[in-house]
Amino acid sequence: MRVTQEPLLRKFWYCVMPMSALGDTPVGMKLCGEPIALWKDASGAPRAVKDRCLHRTAKLSLGTVENGNIVCPYHGWAFDGTGHCVKVPQDVVEKPNPFGVPGYRCVERYNHVWVALDEPFYDIPVIPEFGAPGYRQVIEFCDDWACAPLRIMENAFDNAHFAFVHKGSFGDTDPVPPPFTLEDTEDGFVMRTEVPVRNPEGMRDAIGMTSDRTVRRTANRFFVPFFRAGKITYPNGLENILCTAATPMDEGKTRFVQWVIRNDTEEQVPSEKVIAFDKRVSLEDKLILESTDENVPLDASEGRELHMVCDRPGVLMRKKIRQLLRATPESTAA
């Protein structure tokens, strides 16, 4: 699957960055290969339009924000949050109707910016614990990884890699992961299991437990195509919900956005401790995932990968995406 070649992939909400990354000036990035410019309008709401001026194709993201509109850096044409051109400082020869650049759905949710290029299939994933009494959010990462988004998603449900990739952190030595269950949901599935892990220094600080070992009871929810909310419950009652977006930017380039929702307090475990441990773990993953092929075959026609019995979650992800692609007439896989 090529993330820039599948019109289907434009029909989902993607988490692109924390709101805090949007300051007074526009920001540019690619989403499914499409250049987009993001900024905050006069009300502070995030906005996204195509990052290509309709006059001489300059990048609007290099421009400025004035009165809540994005202003092209080349000749000063201004565009509102829908992409409509609201000001031309010079005289124009013609004004087509509509007069502007494509605008995209863009909202703030979970203190992050979400963009959908085309009419989305599903709503933004619901995370009931967010904002619930007794829960807090720790915003962790927004980094660009050189791998396919599906590799990051599959890895988040792959408990067989702990003994190898994470042997330096929490991974147990048993290469065979414990049994798990998979249950379909409307927009993905949930995987449940209990995984014994080590509890080394760094993790002890992050989970507030001093034992050498512990058990992670997990309910890991996958949302098509590239989001997961994985709740880990520890024996001390800590719930740690890892919310991970693998946002397709370009072929072989994925934005890894992650935050955590937890039922403890900053006094019990400072955010830096949570972030420090998860950073260590995510860098262990990144090293390996960036070595994988950027094309993830969804079926045999695209090439072949061998599977382990415990790869069922990843195989199910591929199947769910393949089914949606088949139902999308313009898809290259149809």
Question: Which residues bind to Co ion, rule: CB under 5 A?
Answer: 285
CB of 55 to ligand FES, least distance (A): 3
Is 13 or 256 the residue whose CB approaches Co ion more closely?
256
Is 56 or 105 the residue whose CB approaches ligand FES more closely?
56
In angstroms, the CA 53 to CA 66 distance is 16
Beta-sheet pairing, 239-250 with 85-87: unpaired
Q: How far is CA 23 from the centre of its chain?
A: 20
Closest chain position to Co ion (CB): 285
Supply φ then ψ for residue 207, to 5 degrees. -110, -5
Partner from Co ion, ligand FES, none binding residue 285, C-beta < 5-8 Å depending on class: Co ion
Task: For residue 182, state whether it binds ligand FES (rule: CB under 6 A).
Answer: no
Q: Name the one residue in this structure whose structure tokens are 């379909």.
A: 184
Residue 273's SS3 state is helix
Q: Which stretch binds ligand FES (CB under 6 A): 23-31, 67-75, 145-153, 322-330?
A: 67-75
Pick one of 19, 21, 45, 58: the residue that binds ligand FES (CB under 6 A): 58
Partner from Co ion, ligand FES, none binding residue 72, C-beta < 5-8 Å depending on class: ligand FES
CB 62 within 8 A of CB 52: no
Pick one of 37, 53, 243, 269: the residue that binds ligand FES (CB under 6 A): 53
DSSP code, position 63? S
C-alpha separations of 321 from 59, 194, 225, 226, 314 in Å: 32, 27, 7, 10, 11
CB of 196 to Co ion, least distance (A): 16
Pick one of 20, 42, 44, 56: the residue that binds ligand FES (CB under 6 A): 56
Is 60 or 245 the residue whose CB approaches ligand FES more closely?
60
Pick one of 66, 75, 178, 236: the residue that binds ligand FES (CB under 6 A): 75
Is 89 or 134 the residue whose CB approaches ligand FES more closely?
89
Partner from Co ion, ligand FES, none binding residue 75, C-beta < 5-8 Å depending on class: ligand FES
In angstroms, the CA 225 to CA 211 distance is 37
Residue among 325, 334, 326 at smallest CA distance from 10: 325
Which residues neighbour 142 within 8 Å (Cβ) at sequence distance 6 or greater? 17, 18, 21, 255, 256, 257
The residues that touch ligand FES, with contacts defined as CB under 6 A, are 53, 55-56, 58, 72, 74-75, 77
